[in-house]
Structure 1
């Protein structure tokens, strides 16, 4: 009885071990391959339980999620011979586990990433080092199209590994340390040249604007002066016409008015005293017995008859001024400064003569 019970327990244990060894579980995040002596016997891509031959078959699982791979930093040389240090990363997943197993063997995911890294680096050098690509293009917004080209080329080669390359991105694109200073110097020189060009264009525009403004000012001033000259000429012509009409009505008054203007001009400022002969014609309207005449002054001996012959109209037009006798001189006082002239007996007699 004891032997049969022990045998039964042993049999149950062996059966349990065989049952456990023949059952495997596939997670929803995985894909599984059932191998027998290294040969693929079954592919499980759906999650759940599966059976295999214990101790003869084995199950290999691969991650079915999207995986990430950071590539090695490499240097590329675009068409403008400016070297760049490129660091990229890729997103991929195992698309065909059978082809993946055949390509990488027992190396698994580590071997696959190593092969994929080589593929990506080759594609990065091929795309970024082509004749149509410059460093400015790599550093600009057009780099998206370059990354898409790298992804398409890597995906075509990665299919032989059973991988699907979903995306490729350039993380960093920098200059080598030994080229940074030279590049910065060239960039500064380019910016200074552009600044100098902008300044030159600005100065040219400013000079053009100033020249236009100066020309406009000159034209405006010339037109204003021309209009002013025309206006002054018309005004002078009208004034001359009015003066001519007024003077034409009384020529004697015109002669008297012009004499008064001459007196004002000659006797202003420091020139307040004039010494001249009594018979000088300049002071015709100042000679006489306290009254001016409209004609030239008579000689000294004939001053009294001339004063008696003066008319009342001529006396009204002349400027009246009181005369005072002094010893040896006769002083005539006007609104203008005093005029001193030597006097003789005839002039004094003419001055003392009674008015008509």
Structure 2
């Protein structure tokens, strides 16, 4: 009786193990392929709960999310035969599970190696057709888009991989030529700075000369206008004096003599040697104003 119990327990255990090994789950983030003795019998198992024949069928699961390939920095030559160190990355995901499994045996590292070879070859061809200026300009974006499209076609056909995007993280100069390039760039910038300073000095001299010339012209015109105004004023004053003095010539002569006396005797140290009958003392010698 005890042996039958053990046999039933053993049978139940086998059934449980067999049922557990025949059930598998594929999540939304995974892609799966069902194999039978190593041969693909179901290429793309949909997400959900599934059953398989234990010890006969085998299920391989792969990450179905968007993955990143960080390629090793590589040295490429431009059309000018100048070396550049290019650091790039790619975004990819599994598109055809059967092709992906056949090409890579389901190994992500193998997929990265195959993609890296194709991407490096494409970058080498693209950079080899550009000069240094085009590499660092906006034309590089067009280059990356074209490379993504071409690599995607090859990767879908050969590996079952969809290449979503390829980008260049950094473009740098090799260490052995970096210093010489920097020195040349520094020399060019200094030459440009000297040219700008020379042009600035030339322009400044021209501005100063024009300002000095304008200053002289303005001063001359102002002096000319002032002299003209002063001359008109003197003429007007002389006219007014003439009109005033012409009304009484004798009084004007008398008034002028008084002014002359005032100026002549202003200083006590002055000495005048004149004849008494000199015309200077005419009004002093006259009696009753005659």
CA gap 1:24/1:242 in 2 versus in 1, 3 angstroms:
closer
Identify unmatched segments of 5+ residues in structure 1.
294-309, 315-356
Q: Does 1:114 align with 2:106?
A: no
Secondary structure of the residue that 1:292 maps to in structure 2? helix
CA gap 1:239/1:26 in 2 versus in 1, 3 angstroms:
closer
Contact 1:99-1:161 within 8 A present in 2 as well: yes
Cα deviation, 1:50-93, whole Å, max 9, x if unaligned, reads 33333333222211111111101112233455432111111111
Secondary structure of the residue that 1:76 maps to in structure 2? strand
Match in the other structure for 1:152: 149
Alignment of 1:79-98 (within 5 A): 79-98=79-98
Higher relative contact order (CA 8 A, sep 6+): 2
- Partners of 2:54 and 2:252 lie apart in 1 by 154
Q: Does 1:285 align with 2:280?
A: yes
TM-score by length of 2: 0.80
Q: Which moved more, 1:120-129 or 1:208-217?
A: 208-217
- Partners of 1:29 and 1:143 lie apart in 2 by 33
- Partners of 2:206 and 2:219 lie apart in 1 by 20
Alignment of 1:1-356 (within 5 A): 15-104=15-104, 106=105, 108-131=107-130, 134-140=131-137, 143-159=140-156, 160-246=158-244, 248=246, 249-250=248-249, 253-254=252-253, 257=256, 261=260, 264=263, 272-274=270-272, 278=275, 283-286=278-281, 292-293=284-285, 310-314=286-290
RMSD between superposed Cα atoms in Å: 3.6
CA gap 1:261/1:80 in 2 versus in 1, 3 angstroms:
farther
Identify unmatched segments of 5+ residues in structure 2.
none
Q: Which moved more, 1:72-81 or 1:267-276?
A: 267-276
- Partners of 1:224 and 1:259 lie apart in 2 by 39
- Partners of 1:95 and 1:76 lie apart in 2 by 30
CA gap 1:17/1:272 in 2 versus in 1, 3 angstroms:
same
Secondary structure of the residue that 1:166 maps to in structure 2? strand
Secondary structure of the residue that 1:62 maps to in structure 2? strand
TM-score by length of 1: 0.67
- Partners of 1:172 and 1:72 lie apart in 2 by 12
